[in-house]
Structure 1
Amino acid sequence: MAARDDPATDRAPDRGLVVVVEDESVIADVVRRYLTAAGFAVRICRTGQEGLAAVRADRPVAIVLDIGLPDMDGLDLCRRLRDGGDWTPVLFATARDEDVDRILGLELGGDDYLVKPFNPRELVARVRAVLRRAGGPGGAGAAALRVGRVRIDPGRRRVWVDPDPARPAAGGEEREVDLTATEFDLLLHLARSPGRVFERAGLLSAVWGYASAAGARTVDVHVAALRAKLGDASPIRTVRGVGYAADDR
């Protein structure tokens, strides 16, 4: 753990540690003040390598990650974490507003995305929303549910896919699928109402906690990521011009 006299770390008792990987001192200090006021402990890291080491050592509840770091691309840092099996929620905060960066960041396993300059209150709200998603809906006693070949355990926040019954010669066993907190909650929200068509704005409000026309692409990217991970067992159906549904087939 980071030492208590570490000048880059503020300790607060309530909500856990947030690692902020940001090389711009003014922005880092503002983010630190607002997160600390909201009850989080904060560790500021100025480089990607420092951030990677802090995440691995301190096990934060969330990461606020700039993309344009001096030593490593923030997207690469996120990729390394996900490839290593670390699914700590990641909120990208960056001056790069290009759609390709936003999409790539979410495809790599980011949970949300803010473009600089941003309102620090909105950043705190987004961090809280990401943590609500990471903590569940559901609970330890929530009943498991199934949609098609996909089995979801809301209490343990785990997902499994059955082998394809149309290919018995292939054999195989049920496999577990690793999802980000946001991917899990999106799948769970759709699966709890099989066949119901959800508009993108409604999904943004229910899963991300906000709604905007600019965020509609975020839903599309997360659906694409879910489909890639679930493979041919994915129950998600696109309703052109409207949104998405999960079919129990």
Structure 2
Amino acid sequence: MQGPHTILLIEDDTAVATSLKEVLEAEGYGVTWTKYGRDGLRLAQEQPPHLIILDVRLPDGSGFDFCRQLRQHKLRQPILMLTAQQEEMDKVLGLEMGADDYVTKPFGVRELLSRLRALLRRAYGELASSTNSNRLFVADLVIDLDRSLVLRGQTQLELTPTEFRLFVYLARNAGQALTRSQILQGAWGYDTAVEDERTVNVHIRRLREKVELTPSQPTLILTVPGVGYRLSNL
């Protein structure tokens, strides 16, 4: 995926999609738009974009289900979900299915662009720029910063870009008890809010499911009651 960042927009509202496509193209992004989740899944595999914007309500199914299917097909690009729902459970469900962030309709263009840029920066930025080493070691895991992947022996763990960034941040601060606010600022790059702190909880749970040998009894990513989380410096 070379050249300008490309975005796959999966949105069934023609007015919203047309306006958003114009804004994104004016910002220099290449945009492919489809109304249907199934077409979006096919396009994401045939013409892998740098980022996917996915609406929750689609004519051929739930955006939550298509988000899960995208991850099941090993597509690791950041996914930004658009939702008209205000309920916290809808936002949490999107994160559980593999989304990296969400914006609630009606949204401001400035907010959406800010979150989009942050996702792209975290996914494709120079993650190793603040360290002289291109590898970090956590127990039996190797974090390869140059290739943005995590290995257990010869097996590559299937982390999303957000999960990778979160794991890198925890690894660089191994042994320290970190508040959710610190984690948001360090791994997400924006200031805290109550709902954003819940976002940390969801991503930590997803990350544990992939890096812990027994996720229900974590030994790497530990909960620090009344504070937040700490990565064991085993």
The two structures have a TM-score, normalised by structure 2, of: 0.89
State the 1:110 CA deviation: 0.9
Counterparts in 2 of 1:57 and 1:234: CA distance versus 1, 3 Å: farther
1:178 and 2:158 are equivalent in the alignment: yes
The equivalent position to 2:148 in structure 1, one of 148, 157, 160, is 157
Question: 1:200 — aligned with what?
Answer: 180
Per the alignment, residue 111 of structure 2 pairs with: 122
| 1:191 partner amino acid | A
Aligned: 1:138 with 2:118: no
How far has the Cα of 1:73 moved from its partner? 0.9
Deviations 1:179-228 (A, max 9, x none): 00000000100101211122111211222221222200100000000111
- Give the secondary-structure state (helix, strand or coil) at the position aligned to 1:32: helix
2:227 paired with 1:248 = no
8 A Cα contact 2:219 2:232, kept in partner: no
CA RMSD of superposed structures (Å):
2.0
Structure 2: which 5+ residue stretches go unaligned? none
| Alpha-carbon distance, 1:34 to partner | 2.0
DSSP-derived class of the 2:223 partner: strand
8 Å CA contact 1:14–1:39 kept in 2: the answer is: no
Aligned to 1:80: 69
User: Would you say the 8 A contact 1:226–1:234 is kept in 2?
Assistant: no
Matched with 2:194 is: 213
Identity %: 39
- TM-aligned CA distance change 1:174 to 1:49, over 3 Å: closer
Q: How many residues align?
A: 226
Name the aligned partner's letter for residue 138 of structure 2: V
Change (3 A) 1:45 1:144: same
Give me the whole-angstrom Cα distance separating, in 1, the residues matched to 2:86 and 2:219. 30
Residue 138 of structure 2 corresponds to residue 147 of structure 1: yes
- Stretches of structure 1 that go unaligned for 5 or more consecutive residues are 1-12, 162-172
Q: Select the residue among 4, 23, 32 that pairs with 2:12.
A: 23
Matched residues in 2 for 1:197 and 1:37: separation? Answer: 43
* Deviation >3 Å, runs of 4+: none
Larger Rg: 1
* 2:80 corresponding residue in structure 1: 91
TM-score by length of structure 1 reads 0.84
Q: Which residue identity lines up with residue 196 of structure 1 in the other structure?
A: Q
Q: Report the counterpart of residue 63 of structure 1 in structure 2.
A: 52
The offset of 1:99, in angstroms, is 2.4
> Are the counterparts in 1 of residues 178 and 227 from structure 2 also a CA contact under 8 Å?
yes
SS of the equivalent of 1:42 reads strand
